[in-house]
Each structure stands twice: as structure tokens, then as C-alpha cells.
Chains A and B, each alone.
Chain A
Amino acid sequence: MFVYDKKLQYPVKIDKPNPRLAAIIISQYGGPDGELGASLRYLSQRYSMPFDELKGLLTDIGTEELGHLEIVGAIVHQLTRNLKDAQIKDPAFAPYFVDHTVGVYPTAASGFPWSAASIEVKGDPIADLAEDLGAEQKARVTYDNILRLSDDPDVNDVIKFLREREVVHFQRFGEAMQLLREKLNQKNVYYMNPAMDI
């Protein structure tokens, strides 16, 4: 089960409201490569994983991603605190505001609501781990793009942390793929589906 710890994984303390930036960063809350999808992808894929290392890694990274979801939510919340009238009317923020006010809603920056279609659970460990490697790279690029778009030092401090986590997770998923191949110990790893046939 999950137990809530009343602390963030990484401190978020943002000085200046900036709804334009919030409207971009919301993509890592509920966008196609965001933290909600990441956590649900890994926590759902683990059921069909055949080996303890893979079950453990998907559980641990999936849980960390839930912590990242909370961090991104905290950034969006703090960027939309105490808004002035002109900031609410900013054309970059008004479309979000009209539907969600200053609530935090899982949507992409484009306005497309979070969709399970942006994640995959194929039920084959090689296919799923290959998806995870791609997912970490896509999330990493999203954070790169946020760093290009944002000049707020309080926000960028946290974004750099989240971005680096994607690099570390990519490394671990790559190692998990190698562990899987070593355990299968056969020339053709595509001979069968290790989730079903061993």
C-alpha cells in the first residue's frame, strides 16, 4: 500500500507568481510525458514482470514518480498564488483559468486532458522496458524544453532536479533490460514472452 509522507522529495519555494509558466509546466503533471503517466505506467507494468529485480525497480521508480507528480503540482500551485487581475487575463493562462481557476488539473499544456493512451502496458517485459527507456527520454526532453522557456531561478532549480532523475531512471531501466537478458540466458530473447512462458 501507499503511505503519505508529509514532505516533498525536493523543496519547492517559488517567490514570484507566473501563470504563463504554470500553463507550460502543467504538461509535466498531466501531459503525454508527464509524471502522472510515468507513475501509472511503471506501477501498472510491474504486475507482469517476471523477476524480482524488475518488480522492485518498477515499484521503486513508479513510487518516486508519484513524488514527482506532487512536486510538479506544488510548482503549478505556487506559480498561480496571489494572482493580479491582469495575470488572470493573460491570454496564455485565461484558457486554463476558465476551466480550472487556480486548481491543479492533469492536462497537457495544449489543453488535452491526461489520457491513458499516452502510456502503454504491453505485458511483455522487453516491450515494456523499451517503452520505459523511451518514456524517460521524452520526459527528459520536456524538462529541457521547460528550461529553455523559463527564466525563473526558483522554478529552474527544481526542474533541473526532476530532469536529472529521468537520466538516472533511464540508466536503471537499461540495466534492468540487461539483467532480464542475462536471466533468460538464450540466444533469441524473442523466442517467447517471459511474462507468460517461463
Chain B
Amino acid sequence: MDQKKERPGWEGRLPAMAPLANPYVPFQLEDPPKYEARKALVRGTLFPGLDLPFMGMVNQKEKPVTPLTELQTMAFAIQELALYLDTHCGDQEALSLYRTYQELYHKGMREYSEKYGPLNHATPVTGPYRWLDDPWPWEYCQNQEG
């Protein structure tokens, strides 16, 4: 099977002339294929080319859509694109996607904090002091919303 044709984004670029006694990891090519953000979260990467699971163990089911998982989804896409842009700062497609997810994140954060309280101490929320409201992030139970 021609893996390159079948699965674009699975190969990267190595230097044409590589000095000896150096370790090489190929550069991910620009504008690589990307998962949709909700799938990216459960796969642990936005990039199908880097999705290399152990013994075929893969999270198939996406997270139920809640204000919190939407926020986690957007934050994860932003983080993944940030790391990519740190080494590919000229990729305009990635930069524009990064900005799109930033907008969605801020919109989601406003909706989330109105309902569940502030995400951090800089989140503007009116009414009583809600920072101490349950649940704390490590305290969720199965089937608990959020």
C-alpha cells in the first residue's frame, strides 16, 4: 500500500544534507490533515499523522457535549495548534484555525462562567463570590454533568 497516498500527513520532511552525529525527527509538513476538534480531544491529537496508538487501543466515543467539554475541546485544539505553531510559525492555515478556536473558546467561556461560575480569578462574573462552588476539577463522578 502506498501509505503516503492513502494517508496524507503521515510523512514529514528531513534535511537534504544531514550532518552526522545528530538525531533527526522529520518536520511535520505544513497544512497537515486535521481532525475535527471533538475527535481531536479524545484521540489526544489534532493531527491524524501523529495519532499512533498502542496495540490499537483508541478512544472511539467522543465526550458528551456540555459547556465544560466544549471548553476543554476548544482549549485542547488551541494548545495543539500552539505547539505546532511554535515550530511552524509561518503556516497561515494553522494560524487562522488557531484564531478561530480562540474566538470559540472565549464565547464558550462566557457561557460556561455565567452558568457554573468563574474559570479563573480574572473571569468577570456578577453576583455572589462563586469561586468556591463545587465541583472542583478532580472531584467529578461518572455521569455527573460537566
Contact = CB atoms under 8 A, between A and B. Distances in A.
Contact residues on B (Cβ < 8 Å of other chain), bracket: 35 or more
Given A7-B72, A161-B44, A163-B54, A60 B23 contact: no
Interface in A129-176: 130, 133, 143-144, 147, 154, 156-157, 160-165, 167-176
The prevalent SS among residues of A at the interface is helix
Contact of A164 (B45, B82, B88): B45
A83 interface: no
Given A6-B117, A164-B44, A176-B86, 7 more contacts: A8-B137, A57-B86, A161-B42, A163-B54, A165-B44, A168-B47, A169-B83
Contact of A56 (B86, B117, B119, B142): B86
Contacts of A172: 83-84, 86-87
B129 interface: no
A99 B52 CA distance: 38
A1 B68 CA distance: 24
A168 B86 contact: no
A11 B144 CA distance: 11
Contacts of A156: 57
A157 B76 contact: no
B137 A167 contact: no
Contacts of A3: 120-122
Instruction: List 3 tightest A-B contacts by C-beta distance, closest first.
Output: A174-B25, A164-B44, A74-B138
A144 B88 CA distance: 29
A164 B51 contact: yes
B11 interface: no
B142 A15 contact: yes
Interface in B52-74: 52-55, 57-59, 63, 68-69, 71-72
Contacts of A163: 44, 53-54
